[in-house]
Chains A and B, each alone.
Chain A
Amino acid sequence: MRQSIPAFAARRLLAILPVLAGAVVFVFVVMRLLPADPAAFLVTGPQGGPEQIAALRARLGLDRSIPEQLARYVRDVLSGDLGRSLTTGEPVLADLLQRLPASLELTIAAFAVALAAGIALGTAAAFRPGSAVDHACRFIATAGNSLPGFVVGLCLIYVFYVRLGWSPEPVGRLDGLMVPPPAVTGFLLADSLLAGDGAAFRSALGHLVLPAATMALFALAPLARITRAALIEVLASDYVRTARALQLPTRLVVVHYALHNAAVPIVTTLGLIFSYMLGANVLVEKVFAWPGIGSYALEAVLSADYAPIQGYVLLVALSFAAVNLLVDILYGLLDPRARIRP
C-alpha cells in the first residue's frame, strides 16, 4: 500500500518520540555516573570549603537520589525548562536558542558550499575516471578527510587575516564593537537584511567566509566521493547506456537520468553530513570564537556542567531526527518505492 506524503511524515514523526525520550534518560544517567562533582568544580578558590560545596550541591539538587533527580528533570523538561548553565549563569534553553542560529548559519553556509562543490567535483570525476579531474577529486577528498578542522582553520587565519589582511578579525560573527541588528530570526545575514543594515550584513558575511570554508572542506570529501561512486554505477547501467545509444542530449542524460537515480545515496550522505556538521563543528567554533552550540557543549563537558550537556544532546537529537525526517521525505519524493508499507 502506498502512503501519501503527509501520512508518511506523520508516521516517521511518531517514531522520533521514543528516540528523544531515550536520549534524555541515557544522557542524564551517564552524566550522573561520571565521577565528577559539579559543586567541587565550581568552588574554585581557597575561600570555598566543604560547607560551600555542600550548600551548592543542595541548591543544584545533587544531594537527592538519581531517580528523584531524573523525575524532577523530566518534569522540568516537559514544562520547557532545561535548567540553568553553571558556566554562563543563564537558563540553558535561552543559551541554546541564542546560539543555535549561529551554528545553523555556519553549518548551512558550509553545507551549501560543500554541496555545490562536492557534487560538481564528484560528477566531473565520475564522467572521466582516471583523468586529472578525478585525481584532483581524490586529492581534495583525502586532504579534507585527513586534515583536522582546526589546522585548516588556523592556516586560513594565518594566510587571509594575519598575512594578507583580506579577512576581518576571525572572532565571532560581527566586528567587535558593532551593534548587531535586532534579532528576528537569529541568523545575522537575514536579520541585517531585514533591518536594511548593509554594514552589518557585510560584516556578518565577511566573518562567515573563513569558518564556512574550513567546515566545507571537511564536508566536501565524503560528498564528492559518494557522488562519484553512485554516478559511476548509474552511468554503467542499462538505461543510461540506452539513453546514450539513443543520442539523447548529454545534459538530459546526466541531470535527469543519471543524477536523479544516483540521488538516493547522495541524499542519505547529505543528511548524515548535515547532522554531523551541526553537532561536530566544535573545533571550528573554538578556533573562530564562533558562538555556537558546539563550543557551548564542549565548555559544559569540561566543567561537569550537567544541564547544558543534557539540553545540547536533546537539541542535537531533535535536529538529527528532523534531518532524518527530511531525508525520508525526500526519499519518498525521489523514489516512490520508499513509501510502500511492507
Chain B
Amino acid sequence: MDRRDFLMRGAGVAASLGFAAPSLAQGRAETLRVLAESAANSRDPHGDGVNVPSLGTFTNVYDRLVNFDRSEVLPSVYRYDYSRLIGELAERFEEANDGKSLVFHLRRDATFHDGRPVTAEDVKWSLDRAVSLPASKRQLATGSMTDPAQFVAVDRHTFRIDCPRKDRYTLPNLALTQASIINAEEARRRATAADPWATEWLRNNAAGGGAYRIEGWTAGQQIVYGRFDQWKSGLLPKIRRAVLQVVPAATARVASLQKGDADIVLQLPPKDIDAIATDGRVRVASIPVVTSFRFIAFNTQTKPFDDVRVRQAIAYALPYQGMFDGAVFGHGTPLFGGPSFTPAAADFPQAMPYHLSLEKARTLLAEAGLDQGFQTTFSYNAGDATIAEPVALLVQEGLAAIGIKVEIEKVTAAQWATRLTEKKVPFYVESSAAWFNDPDYFFRIFFQGDWRWNFGSFVNADLAAILDKARWETDRATYDRLMREAIAIVFREVPVALLWLPSFEVAMQPDVTNFTYYIHGQVDFRPITRIA
C-alpha cells in the first residue's frame, strides 16, 4: 500500500465514522462550544499566577455583589457599560454616611452550588481574602479597599463596606472577578494553619454560587460547564451546557467554525478575521477596547530617548498608516494624526497629534544635536509576532529616512516580561489594557511609578500633581480640565507614541445572539441565547 492509497483509505474510514458519532447530547439551542487558544489554569479568583482565560471561568462560576450593565453596540452584540452598575448577588445597594459607606442587600434566595444559602458572612470572608492575598490586594486597593475591618456583615443579608472617603472606584472594583464571592464555609474547611485562605485547595476546586458549575476540567485542554439551575442572581441562562476547548492553531479554529462544529471562536488574528468576514456562514463582531492601547515605547531615562526632541522626532517619522494597514489590517481605531496638541476631549487613549512628517522629524533631531542620526535597538515580543514583527520592520524602514539605524531584536515570550520588568528594553512595541476607563486611573498605571506598566519609565512632577488632584475630584468640569492638562503633557512629552486602539474580535455562528463583551475578553455564557 503506498502513501496515497493509505491516505485515501484512511480518510474514507474517517468519513464513515465522522458522521456516525453522536456529537450533541442536548439540543443545539442549549449548548455552546467555544474554541480558544488556551484555557484557564485556576479556579481561585484571588490566586497568583492566574492567566487571562481563568477570568472567564471566574465570571461564570462565581457571582459578584454587582455587575456592569451592558449596552448594544452591534445588532445583538453587547459590551459592558462601565458607568452603570447593577446588582448581581446584591438585589439592591445604596450609599450611606455621605458616600463613605456602601450598603448591599443580598438576595435572600441565593445559594451556593452545594445548596448552602449565601450570607453576608460569605461576602465578608471573600473580600477579607481578596484584600489579604497578594494577587488581588493591589487591585482592590485602587478602590480604597485595603483592610478586612472595612467589611462588615451587618446581618445575615446585609453587608456594608466602609471607606475612609467616598471613592468612585469602589463599586467598579466590586464588579471585577477579584471581588468574586466564595462559599466561605466550604473553603474554610480546607484551610490549614499554613494556608488560612485555602489557596492550595481553591486553585483546583471551585466553591462558588455562579450561574455555571464546572462539570469537567481537563487541564489545558477542555472545560465543561453545566448550568446551575438554582441560580438566582439573574435570569436563568438559556445555555445549559457549555464546552470550552483549546485549539492552538488559529487555522484549525477557523475551519471548525466554518464547518459548523464550533459556535464561538476567540483569539483570531486580524488576517483570519478578514478571511472569514465575507463568509456568510459565520458572523464576526469587532468591538473597540477603549481601555487598551498599542504603542511604541521609549525608555525616557536612557540616552538618546531622555531628550524629548528625539522622542518627538521619532513620533513624526513613524509610518503610522502603513503599520495600521500592514500589521492589523485596519482593525482598530487609529491613535495617530490627531488635530491638536491641546486636547478637546478629556478621555484617553485619544489620537496623538503626530503624523508622518520627515521634515519636522529632521529639524527636531538636529535641534537635539543628532542630525547625523544614531543607532539603536528596537525590540518586540516573539509571542506577539503577528502584529509586532511587521511594526518592527516598518519602524526600521521609516527611521532609516531620518538617519536612525535600527537593529531589530526579537525577544522570546518567556523573557519579555522579565526584560520589561527590569526596564532593560530602550525602544519597543507593546500593547496593554487597564481595567477601568477613567483617564486618571489609566494614567496612574501607565505614566507613573517604578514598575513594568510605566512602559516609558516616565517621570513628570506636573503630571503627578495633576493626577493627585484628579484622584478625588468630584466636580466633572474640574476633573475634565485636569485630565485635558494631563493629556497635553503626554502629547508633548511622548513617553510612548500611540499607534492604535486594538479591537476585541470574536467569530461565531449566526444564531448565537446576545454575546456580551467584558473587559477580560472571555465568554460570559449567562446572557447568550441561540435562535432555535
Contacts and interface: CB of A to CB of B under 8 A. Distances in A.
A182 to B, nearest CB: 14
Contact of A303 (B3, B21, B22, B413): B413
Contact of B48 (A56, A172, A289, A303): A56
B12 A166 contact: yes
Given A42-B49, A48-B138, A168-B21, A113 B6 contact: yes
Given A41-B418, A199-B21, A295-B248, A46 B35 contact: no
Contacts, number: 229
13 contacts: A46-B432, A158-B255, A161-B259, A164-B11, A165-B259, A168-B18, A169-B261, A169-B262, A178-B21, A206-B13, A289-B245, A289-B247, A295-B248
Nearest to A137: B2
B414 interface: yes
B415 A36 contact: yes
A296 interface: yes
Interface of A: 34-38, 40-53, 55-56, 59, 85-90, 95, 98, 113, 116-117, 120-121, 136, 140, 150, 154, 156-158, 160-162, 164-172, 175-178, 199, 202-203, 205-206, 209-210, 212-213, 216-217, 220, 286-289, 291, 295-296, 299, 301-304
Contacts of B248: 286, 289, 295
B17 A205 contact: yes
Interface in B1-60: 1-3, 6-7, 10-15, 17-18, 20-25, 31, 33, 35, 38, 40-42, 48-49, 51-52
Contacts of B531: none
Nearest to B260: A169
Interface of B: 1-3, 6-7, 10-15, 17-18, 20-25, 31, 33, 35, 38, 40-42, 48-49, 51-52, 134-136, 138-139, 178, 203-204, 218-222, 241, 243, 245-249, 251-252, 255-256, 258-259, 261-262, 383, 412-415, 417-421, 432, 434-435, 445-446, 451-453
Interface core residue of B1, B3, B138, B241 (most chain A CB under 10 Å): B3
B210 to A, nearest CB: 19
A213 B6 contact: yes
A178 B252 contact: no
A85 B49 CA distance: 11
A46 B434 contact: yes
Contacts of B245: 171-172, 176, 289
B11 A172 contact: no
A42 B221 CA distance: 19
Contact of B445 (A46, A113, A136, A286): A46
Query: What 9 A-B pairs have minimum CB-CB distances, sorted nearest first?
Result: A166-B15, A304-B414, A88-B219, A206-B17, A47-B139, A168-B18, A42-B49, A36-B414, A89-B41
Among B247, B383, B453: residue with most chain A CB under 10 A: B247
A338 to B, nearest CB: 32
Contacts of B35: 171
Given A47-B136, A89-B41, A176-B33, 20 more contacts: A40-B421, A41-B417, A44-B51, A44-B417, A46-B434, A55-B134, A154-B249, A161-B259, A164-B11, A166-B12, A166-B14, A171-B261, A176-B261, A177-B33, A206-B13, A209-B13, A212-B10, A289-B246, A289-B247, A304-B414
Contacts of A164: 11, 15
A213 B8 CA distance: 10
Contact of B23 (A178, A216, A304): A178
A55 B221 contact: no
Interface centre among B17, B33, B262, B432 (most CB of A within 10 A): B17
A172 B138 contact: no
B18 A34 contact: no
B138 A49 contact: yes
Contacts of B38: 299
A52 B48 contact: yes
A44 B383 CA distance: 14
Most B-side CB within 10 Å, residue of A48, A86, A117, A212: A48
A167 B15 contact: yes
A171 B247 contact: yes
Nearest to B140: A47
Given A56-B49, A209-B14, A51 B138 contact: yes
A188 to B, nearest CB: 13
Contacts of A288: 252
B414 A302 contact: yes
B249 A289 contact: yes
Contacts of A53: 421
Contacts of B23: 175-178
Contacts of A85: 41, 219
B11 A166 contact: yes
Contact of B418 (A37, A95, A170): A37
Contact of B414 (A50, A158, A303): A303
Contacts of A287: 249, 251-252
